[in-house]
Amino acid sequence: MNARGTRPRESRAHTPLDVPETENPGVAVQKEPPARDEIARRAYELYLERGGQDGHDVEDWLRAEAELVPGRG
């Protein structure tokens, strides 16, 4: 305790990284990028949602990648 009868504060500033993930839900946690087969699966789902129409494979792949890869959407 100090002269005023209170405890001294910690000298280290509190940052969001000091808080466990569950206590700080607004902080983005970097995770592994999706595997190639996950992107392929989502692209195939998009293909099926469009009624199986051919000719949009690259568009489906890029959209699936944008949905699944952080920072690409």
Each residue's pLDDT tens digit, 15-25 = 455 445 555 56
Which residue range is the domain that position 69 belongs to?
35-73
Answer whether residue 11 is part of any domain: no
Answer whether residue 65 is part of any domain: yes
Q: What pLDDT is stored for residue 4 in this prediction? A: 65
Answer whether residue 64 is part of any domain: yes
CA angle 44, 50, 56 (to 5 degrees): 65
Compute the chain's Rg from CA coordinates: 23
Question: How many domains, the chain?
Answer: 1
Q: Answer whether 0.85 is exceeded by the pTM.
A: no
Q: What pLDDT is stored for residue 15 in this prediction? A: 47
Residue 52 structure tokens: 């199986």
Answer whether residue 52 is part of any domain: yes
